[in-house]
Structure 1
Amino acid sequence: MLKTAEKPGRPTLSLRKKLAFTCGVTLAFFCILEIGLAAIGFREPATVRDPLVGFSGHVPLMIPSQDDQGRPVMRTAPGKLTWFNDQHFFLPKPPDVKRVVCLGGSTTYGRPFDDHISFSNWLRQLLPVTDSDHRWEVINAGGISYASYRVAAVMEELAEYQPDLYIVYTGQNEFLEQRTYAGLMNASQWSRDSRAWIQSTRTWGLASSIARAFHDESSQHDASGDASEELPAEVDERLNHTIGPQDYERDDAWHDKVCQDYQWNLQRMIEIARAADVPIVFVMPTSNELDCSPFKSEPSNDLSSGLQVQLKEAVALSQQSVDARQWQEALDSSRLALELDDRNPDACFLAGIALHHLGRQDEALASLTAAVDNDICPLRATSRLRGILREVTQRYQVPLVDFERRLRQTSQDQWGHPCLGSRYFLDHVHPDPATHRRLAGWILESLIENSLVRGELPSQEDIDSIDERIQAEIDTTARAVSYRNLAKVLHWSGKFREALPRARDAVADMPDDLESRYIAANCLQELGQWDEAVQEYDALFARGDFDRAVLPFGELLYQRGEMVAAKAYVMQASVVTQGVTRARAFFFLGRIHQNLGENEFAIESLRKSDELYPNHLPTLLALAGVLMDSSQFKDALAVVSTAAEQNPDSFEAHWMQGRIHIALGETSKAAAALRIADQIRPGDPEIQQTLELLN
């Protein structure tokens, strides 16, 4: 019996061929989809989002409004005017308008003033002179304290309003906010570039549009796997939560991640611009390195306590030599400090200052750059950030206006050195009005060279005419308030040398402004220029009462030994102040009474200070001292014992405790207290002599 022949089976594909076939079909599908979307003109503008940083809420920068004639415009949202200038533009964009968007932080904004003196306004005036064939709109979208990730978010929003050019000045605020980073930060450059490319496609834009149609803002940041960090909708500076830069600590790993984030956001901005088919130009950030010391300096963690003391002494000696204009001595002391800690910001800065005045400008520039780079509270763009900007613009072939190089060359031509300081900057990063004008001219040169603007540079006569018009429109009171606000920030951060000239600028425009005079007087006081400080305080109080100035002036008079005059001001301060400041007023009032031989009033004042601010060591020691002077030894012992218990490492507390025990005839207790003092400060001759007498 014949068997029926079996049908041959279908040839089976290998797993590798199946995978290749599936990938090919998928790729073909998305290619066809991308081509189709392009054919129908679909473009999801500015969909390249930072995978590392999200925002807890979003208030748009621009909102629909109307101008004075009832025409539809987009205007800066009222809730954003704390950070942005009031700007508006027509919607839809008129056909003959060229719309330039200037993005960045407070330099773009025009800080400490506003848009009026900014390079954005200068471009607004210069562009029509250069190219009169178009109507030019220049939108100043600089946000105070905005770092690159927030600048990119603003750029993303404004891409919807048909810009013709982006100009971006960013890099000064990268370390301003506290951020942590998800694991994606450690991804390879290839993976980051790949993600950026994918997010720039029309297919990704279509998917994003569909997703946003079905999900609200909060669902984009849930715990379902979003690796990005959520930040508040507006800037939340670390400095806002502290009494100064001391909240910052040296953290190299965090610095590395911030720099990586900066690189990502530069690339992101380029992709946003290219997705919208808009040219983009970057400006190299630069800052005041010569006349602005580091915001915070601290020794390296690996230094022993003994070496830290040596470092502190060397830095202090260098500062004293700088103040005395003894440049070689200052250099020698700073180099001694740098031998102990080559990353100490203050030592780098002082070495740079000394080298600058010794005429060794290349070495000076290197040291001053190191001071900025090693600042524990880095509020200026570091050389590493500038290098990243240069590398990214070269790689993507994007124009870069080298503000740093051009300004250094200007300084070289004008002053014979490339170190940048207060001749160009009002503080650590903000250019003065003349430097904004220069920057606008250099930007315009770059736009013409890169064929982004047609025409020739304005003549000097045109520039002078524009300058006269801008100067005539300046409100001197508003300018004075801007100077005062800048002086307040610098004074608050302990930068008295930098705050003083800005306070004086404010006083020049507004002579009767008491707060500006107080800042000037207190800066002089902190800098040890006591005679000038007294003159400034006298001028202040001749114009009116200013409660904040009463106690500092009283302290200054106390330090000068003018006890009777000091007493009047400090007594007033004890009435008009509150909290810790009031406790301080009673402390100084007690010391003044003691110096005047008014021990009963001194004891009363110091007890009041201790009541308001308990267990403050200087207060307890002062109170114990007055009680001793009044032969109230048991009361003095009770006070100083509290001081020693609360401050076991205080040499002064144990030394005074021993002396009181001697006065009470308690020699064994005196010896015990003095031995503790001797352990804290070994070899003190007075302690040694007293112990020998007791034995």
Structure 2
Amino acid sequence: MPQPKRSSPSLFRVAAPLRRALGGLVVAGMVLAAGELALRMWVPEAQQPAPIDRFALADVAAGAYVHRRDSVAGDWLEEADGRVRTRPSRRPEGVATVDVTMVPEPGVHRIVALGGSTTRGVPFDHLGGGFVAELTARLSSLSDQPFEVVNLGVPGMDARGVARMAEEARQLHASTWVLYTGNNEVMGDLLDRCVRSERLLLARTLDRLLGYRLLRRQLLGAPTRPTGADAIAAQDACTGARIAEAWADGTARTGGALDPTYAAGVTQPLVRTDGAAHAVDRRLRSALDRILEAAARDGVRVVLAIPATNLTHKPGHPLAGPGRTGADAAEADRWIAQARRAPGGQALAAWTEALRVDPHRADALHGWGMARLALGGDPASAVRALRAAVDHDYAARRPTSAVRKALMDTCDRSMVTCVSLDAVLSEQARQPIVPEDWFFDHCHPSAVGTQQIGGVLAAAVVDTAVP
């Protein structure tokens, strides 16, 4: 006897809840639009709260680092009438004013400089200086062929931001890109945990609505634009909290310690192997691949500069290593205080004792390296300690070992011209490390350093760009 067929659920009945939900959203949107229109007609324009500047929307100011804002702020460059110009809305962020023909004049080698604040020329950018200006001047003396240099460096930009800028740089039809990146990778990773692009996008979308702005003013009062000091303070507070969280649970910086029990107290340091270092490494390598792919599509040559590192610059606030007790930290502090007062070999011995207590202390690593360097005789171990101090810095604004290795690996596997500035500049100075007076601060070159870097990169550009 045939079984009766079971009726399958009606497609209409399955889709009905979805249709009702969609209808509700449409009605809500229409009501919201009608209310917004009524408010704009009813509230006089003079009484309407102005939108907050889009770069002050986050509770942590994103003004210092821009790699998370591109989805909110849009492109850096615009094309019109056969020329490429800097978008006026992006100029306040530190990018140079660009206004050039889309295609360079026949026979002219156009060079585009990509990177962060060092590329932009900090602290000399207000004078049109920096190593890019020196590079421009040197090119004319090294070659009879004409060069045109376009500076697209943006303060605070990490390699991800540079990769986005490289895509826009393709419209400039350059023959060579000079890439100087690596100083902002660690801070960029920290700020990823503080500034969320999706949060900025949501805040900007809501801020377009007059009703939202009126409600915000009623509840919170008139907004105030944060000053530069407020932005830096908020940034430091957020990144400091993220670092403290990582150290508290012992998941950060589990590698990189020097062995204080061997020989004079310090041997070859291990490279940091914690999760944060791996995240920085992955993102940097991915960004470098994107930059090189963009260059390869247009046949652009690349000069990759591995940044010069100011190893004499002291690291940030000291933090105890994972698992260290308060008593350990206090004992390390006592040895560090003694080392700073002691002369010569006694200082080195005190720094060594501090490292025996806590081999992850960045300030102790730096002190040991500087003391060992001053005594001479074994500069290699001193340099290793100074580099380990950068690796263990709580918020390194300099290239760590992982960053340098990623850049060097890119040089080894790619058809690019690479310049290791630490090696070249220290050789020029005939010192184990780049001299302190060749830097203005933790990473930006001084006037002397700018001249040296510009000269080295100009020679590399001529070798690369001129057949």
TM over 0.5: yes
Partner of 1:258: 280
Partner of 2:466: 453
2:84 is paired with a residue whose SS is: strand
Question: In 2, distance between residues paired with 1:432 and 1:107?
Answer: 10
Measured at CA, do residues 85 and 345 of structure 1 come closer, stay the same or move farther in structure 2, by a change above 3 Å?
A: same
Shift, 1:246, TM fit:
3.6
Question: In 2, distance between residues paired with 1:87 and 1:140?
Answer: 8
Shift, 1:238, TM fit:
7.7
Partner of 1:405: 423
Shift, 1:387, TM fit:
1.4
Measured at CA, do residues 121 and 381 of structure 1 come closer, stay the same or move farther in structure 2, by a change above 3 Å?
A: same
1:139 is paired with a residue whose SS is: strand
Partner of 1:364: 382
**Do the aligned partners of 1:176 and 1:238 also contact (CA within 8 Å) in 2?**
no
Partner of 2:172: 161
Measured at CA, do residues 105 and 428 of structure 1 come closer, stay the same or move farther in structure 2, by a change above 3 Å?
A: same
Shift, 1:53, TM fit:
7.7
Superposed, which structure 2 residues align to 1:274-673 within 5 Å? Answer: 274-290=296-312, 292-321=313-342, 326-360=343-377, 361-412=379-430, 417-450=431-464, 452-454=465-467
Q: Which letter maps to 1:354?
A: A
**Do the aligned partners of 1:145 and 1:176 also contact (CA within 8 Å) in 2?**
no
Question: In 2, distance between residues paired with 1:349 and 1:253?
Answer: 23
Q: Which letter maps to 1:348?
A: L
Shift, 1:380, TM fit:
0.6
Shift, 1:320, TM fit:
2.8
Aligned pair partner of 1:57 in 72, 88, 112: 72
Matched residue count: 337
Question: In 1, distance between residues paired with 2:155 and 2:288?
Answer: 19
Measured at CA, do residues 133 and 368 of structure 1 come closer, stay the same or move farther in structure 2, by a change above 3 Å?
A: closer
Superposed, which structure 2 residues align to 1:104-123 within 5 Å? Answer: 104-114=115-125, 116-123=128-135
Shift, 1:257, TM fit:
0.5
**Do the aligned partners of 1:104 and 1:169 also contact (CA within 8 Å) in 2?**
yes
1:176 is paired with a residue whose SS is: helix
2:441 is paired with a residue whose SS is: coil
Measured at CA, do residues 99 and 448 of structure 1 come closer, stay the same or move farther in structure 2, by a change above 3 Å?
A: closer
C-alpha offsets along residues 154-197 of structure 1, whole Å, 9 cap, x if unaligned?
1111112211111100000002232269xxxxxxxxxxxxxxxx
Shift, 1:91, TM fit:
3.1
Partner of 2:89: 79
Aligned pair partner of 1:242 in 236, 246, 267: 236
The reply to whether residue 179 of structure 1 matches residue 200 of structure 2 is no
Question: In 2, distance between residues paired with 1:299 and 1:312?
Answer: 10
Structure whose CA Rg is larger: 1
Question: In 2, distance between residues paired with 1:392 and 1:237?
Answer: 34
Q: Which letter maps to 2:153?
A: G
Question: In 2, distance between residues paired with 1:268 and 1:126?
Answer: 29
Normalising by structure 1, report the TM-score.
0.45
Question: In 2, distance between residues paired with 1:351 and 1:254?
Answer: 25
Measured at CA, do residues 387 and 237 of structure 1 come closer, stay the same or move farther in structure 2, by a change above 3 Å?
A: farther
2:323 is paired with a residue whose SS is: coil
C-alpha offsets along residues 314-333 of structure 1, whole Å, 9 cap, x if unaligned?
12222233xxxx12222111
Shift, 1:401, TM fit:
1.2
**Kindly, what percent of the aligned residue pairs are identical?**
24
Provide structure 2 residue ranges, at least 5 long, that are not aligned to the other structure: 1-66, 195-200, 203-229, 253-273
Provide structure 1 residue ranges, at least 5 long, that are not aligned to the other structure: 1-51, 66-70, 182-217, 220-235, 455-695
**Do the aligned partners of 2:178 and 2:302 also contact (CA within 8 Å) in 1?**
yes
Aligned pair partner of 1:128 in 140, 152, 157: 140
**Do the aligned partners of 1:176 and 1:237 also contact (CA within 8 Å) in 2?**
no
**Do the aligned partners of 2:123 and 2:130 also contact (CA within 8 Å) in 1?**
no
Q: Which letter maps to 1:341?
A: D
Measured at CA, do residues 436 and 244 of structure 1 come closer, stay the same or move farther in structure 2, by a change above 3 Å?
A: farther
Aligned pair partner of 1:147 in 152, 158, 164: 158
Question: In 1, distance between residues paired with 2:291 and 2:231?
Answer: 23
Partner of 2:27: none
Question: In 1, distance between residues paired with 2:443 and 2:118?
Answer: 7
**Do the aligned partners of 1:239 and 1:245 also contact (CA within 8 Å) in 2?**
no
Shift, 1:313, TM fit:
1.4
Question: In 1, distance between residues paired with 2:298 and 2:110?
Answer: 13
Measured at CA, do residues 88 and 54 of structure 1 come closer, stay the same or move farther in structure 2, by a change above 3 Å?
A: closer
Question: In 2, distance between residues paired with 1:85 and 1:150?
Answer: 16
Normalising by structure 2, report the TM-score.
0.67
Judge which range, 136-145 or 305-314, deviates more.
Answer: 305-314
1:56 is paired with a residue whose SS is: helix
Measured at CA, do residues 435 and 410 of structure 1 come closer, stay the same or move farther in structure 2, by a change above 3 Å?
A: same
**Do the aligned partners of 2:142 and 2:462 also contact (CA within 8 Å) in 1?**
no
The reply to whether residue 267 of structure 1 matches residue 289 of structure 2 is yes
Question: In 2, distance between residues paired with 1:64 and 1:156?
Answer: 14
Shift, 1:408, TM fit:
1.1
Question: In 2, distance between residues paired with 1:72 and 1:399?
Answer: 31
Measured at CA, do residues 351 and 401 of structure 1 come closer, stay the same or move farther in structure 2, by a change above 3 Å?
A: same
Question: In 2, distance between residues paired with 1:397 and 1:60?
Answer: 28
2:355 is paired with a residue whose SS is: helix
Q: Which letter maps to 1:301?
A: P
Higher helix share: 1
Shift, 1:79, TM fit:
2.6
Question: In 2, distance between residues paired with 1:435 and 1:88?
Answer: 28
Question: In 2, distance between residues paired with 1:421 and 1:441?
Answer: 17
Moved beyond 4 Å, runs of 4+: 52-55, 236-240
Shift, 1:151, TM fit:
0.6
Question: In 2, distance between residues paired with 1:107 and 1:434?
Answer: 14
Q: Which letter maps to 2:151?
A: N
1:271 is paired with a residue whose SS is: helix
**Do the aligned partners of 2:185 and 2:284 also contact (CA within 8 Å) in 1?**
yes
Q: Which letter maps to 2:357?
A: L
Measured at CA, do residues 98 and 449 of structure 1 come closer, stay the same or move farther in structure 2, by a change above 3 Å?
A: closer
Question: In 2, distance between residues paired with 1:394 and 1:237?
Answer: 39
C-alpha offsets along residues 313-370 of structure 1, whole Å, 9 cap, x if unaligned?
112222233xxxx122221111111111112101101111211221242222121111
Question: In 2, distance between residues paired with 1:151 and 1:123?
Answer: 19
